Amino acid sequence: MLKFSLCEKVLPLKRTSEKHVVGHCQYGRTNVSQTFQRRFGSFANYVNGLRLAYYDLYVEEHPAETKEAAALAAGFSSYNSYYRAKQKLERENG
């Protein structure tokens, strides 16, 4: 099983890929892909979950910043992208 804490340390929030994770976690691509699929539904869901968590921390630590700035700092391309990812996560988690 992947050590997600290790992957989170090397996983940049912007422009990342499964290939990047495979290179840093020393697991085969198939194993990495299957693990993300089982645990998170997809690699994109995993990355967006990290970005959403970072957004919340950023807003807490930088209360004067705009929502757009927080979304960009978290790796989203815009506040709308952040909002769509948040809505999707809320729908999936009920």
In 1-94, which ranges are continuous DSSP H helix?
4-10, 18-25, 29-40, 43-61, 67-73, 79-93
How distant, in Å, are the alpha carbons of 29, 32, 68, 88 from that of 53? 25, 22, 15, 14
Domain extents for the chain?
Answer: 4-41, 44-93
Structure-block tokens of residue 89: 């996560």
- Which tens digits make up the pLDDT trace of 56-76? 988 999 999 999 999 998 889
Give me the sign of the Cα torsion angle 81, 15, 17, 21.
negative
| Distance, first Cα to last Cα, the chain | 27
Q: Does domain 44-93 have CATH number 1.10.10?
A: yes
pTM comes to: 0.76
| Spatial distance between the Cα atoms of 20 and 90, rounded to a whole number of angstroms | 27
Q: Give the pLDDT score at 15.
A: 64
- Which tens digits make up the pLDDT trace of 12-51? 556 677 887 788 777 888 988 898 899 988 888 988 988 8
53-57-61 Cα angle (round to 5): 170
